[in-house]
Amino acid sequence: MAEEQEQVSLKKTYFFSPGYVLPVIMEKNNIETVVKNFEVRDEDVFLVTFPKAGTNWTLEIIDAIQNIDNIDILKERSLMEKVPLIELGPSTHPEMVEEGITDVPSICQVMLESVPEGSPRRIPTHLLPDISPTQLFTKKPKTIVVDRNPKDCLISLFNWHQSVRFLDPCTWEEMFAAYMKGHTIYGDYCVFTKAWAKYKNEPWVLWIRYEDMKKDHKGSVRRIAEFMGKSLTEEQLDEVVRVTHFLYMKKANETIKGREFILRPEGVWQRKGVSGGWKNTFTVAQNEMFDKDYHEKMEGYEDLKYDL
């Protein structure tokens, strides 16, 4: 274990368990106790994603659907409130203190549990099932899983490292090498996808692809709303589409409250939101290496595989 810890490829990350890396803004003890024992409510909507698989966008859609009668509330959200990852905080690690990020509480303990009983909660997570809240699998609230081409996830994660204060900037070569070792945050994409695939066909789970959401924004909003048990009119669907259009969200987030706390001065919260952007960055050799690794790991999961 000690030897493996020395091999963490990217700064501001640590081994939560052998082969599983998390950013230091998340605390191991908090996840193993507070998060694991989190009390789930029937009205909760969980969102499960691998990092950079469309988390922000899908949360905005869920938020807009939940608050369709008071949609202006979306403008009041701070950047931290936009993506209240259940595993986030508290920020006690020396590297966070050095960054000046010292007052992030346990999101699980403070923000989510402060929502009044009966009020809808959006609960996003990137965690593997075995360290997610136990009650997620006993109470089985509505849970949306968004999948995305792993190459696009990696490109987006690389740019995320350049933008946020709680991760360290790195070169593309460093990011690619770390990913191939399974040392990027939240570990290996294939391990994550296969772990959650166990629940793919459960009635309380909606499995949806980022690429399908891009192709049919309104149809995806309708599908998500129906899954959540919300009956929206065509006008309401159009309104959700309007406020969750990429350019609308990108502009709104340029002046959002709490931006300077999370982002570097030159940082970008939402960059391009496109599919296939990896083609502009991967070398031929990297692409071949990635494909071989991906197809070997995803063997037997043909229904989940992307045509890379």
CB 67, CB 143: distance < 8 Å: no
Separation CA 79–CA 258 (nearest Å): 5
Separation CA 131–CA 137 (nearest Å): 11
Give Dmax (Cα) for the chain: 58
Separation CA 255–CA 272 (nearest Å): 18
CB 265, CB 272: distance < 8 Å: no
- Can you read off the two tokens belonging to residue 294? 């991906």
Chain-centroid distance of CA 108 in Å reads: 15
Length of the chain measured in residues: 308
CB 213, CB 57: distance < 8 Å: yes
Separation CA 15–CA 211 (nearest Å): 31
Can you tell me which residue has the tokens 């499995």? 207
Chain-centroid distance of CA 39 in Å reads: 21
Residues with catalytic annotation? 126
Q: Count CB atoms within 10 A of the CB of residue 263.
A: 17
CB 158, CB 51: distance < 8 Å: no
Separation CA 202–CA 138 (nearest Å): 12
> 208 forms bridges with which residues in the sheet?
146
